[in-house]
Amino acid sequence: MMYVLIFLQWICVLALAPLTVGIVRKMKAHYQNREGASILLPYWTILSLMRKEMTITRHSSWVFRVVPFVVLATAVCLALLVPSIAYGILPHAASNIFLIGAIAALGSVFLVLGGMDTSSTFGHMGSSREMTLAALVEPAFYLVLSTLGLLAGVWSLDGIVGYFAMSPWSAVVPVASITLLALLAVILAENARYPVDNPATHLELTMVHEAMILEYSGPYLAMLEYAAAIKLTVMLVLFMNLVLPFGLLHPAFGLALIPVALMVFVAKLTLGGLLVATIESTIVKMRFYRMQEYMSVAAIGALIGFILVLIGHTL
């Protein structure tokens, strides 16, 4: 039963990852009074890129060719290790919060190396900005996960999600509300969304993530786009499972509730896409030199949540 649920949630995340991007784009178009493209367009985009020929500069090395595979592999690992449909199915060591953070950071580091390897001016600029953001995001990210782990009494994401799912909503989520808001800020920064970055920009001077993949084309670009969609989906579903810890499966429930869990998963994915689209349609992109203020607010929010949890444990 456990292996069925692990495989099921892994396949669902991989299959629906492009749909997440399509939902966000469709809802943003709705906010802008446009019809927008189909929510299935990201699937066709990835498939069409897989059929295109690649153009690789002669200045690039083997690093340039390895980066898409490593970035996609880290995203696939996150889809496997982060609970999305069920809890209580992964060993604590497999979904340890520090392991999850390291896997996410590994993909970012290789993406930076790929941007630098082509000797492109914009690639170097995007890589430099990405490393600056990583230095600001990582402390807040680990502080958020540590606070949630302290609250749940376990250092694995599977255990944290299980704790939220088994506890009364009114007794857990309001206490962790500040930490969850900090987690949302970290998710937006980690996935290069507003107010940190604009994923739809065509202005090279304002790019961060997109500047690092400007030199990629064809199947390599498809792999990077797919990896970004998976990472966004995994983190959005994790956030929604903590805010709304309902409809999650457990091995003890049996296979009969799988259809219900799948419907809840799609509903949470849609709500997460609506949340991102609403945020990106109501705020503007911040200047890059104000990123330390943004991430400082996230880190302070996580620290406040950490202190509140400590006080709660001592009372």
| First and final C-alpha spacing in the chain | 39
> Between the CA of residue 96 and those of 2, 61, 141, 194, what are the distances in Å?
18, 34, 14, 28
**pTM of the prediction?**
0.94
Q: Using an 8 Å Cβ cutoff, are 232 and 197 in contact?
A: no
Confidence class for position 123, pLDDT limits 50, 70, 90: confident
Question: In the prediction, which pLDDT does 112 show?
Answer: 92
Q: Is the pLDDT of residue 254 over 80?
A: no
Tens of pLDDT, residues 268-294: 999 999 999 999 899 888 888 888 888
Question: In the prediction, which pLDDT does 203 show?
Answer: 66
Confidence class for position 204, pLDDT limits 50, 70, 90: low
Phi/psi for 96 (5° steps) reads -60, 140
Of residues 39 and 200, the one with the higher pLDDT is 39
Buried-exposed string 53-87: b where 16+ CB fall within 10 A, e elsewhere: eeeeeeebeeebeebbebbbbbbbbbbbbbbbbbb
- Please tell me whether the peptide bond between 251 and the residue prior to it is cis, using omega within 30 degrees of 0: no
Tens of pLDDT, residues 54-102: 988 888 889 999 999 999 999 999 999 999 999 988 888 888 999 999 9
Q: Is the pLDDT of residue 29 over 90?
A: yes
Q: Is the pLDDT of residue 242 over 70?
A: yes
The tokens 């990405």 sit on which residue? 130
Q: Using an 8 Å Cβ cutoff, are 96 and 154 in contact?
A: no
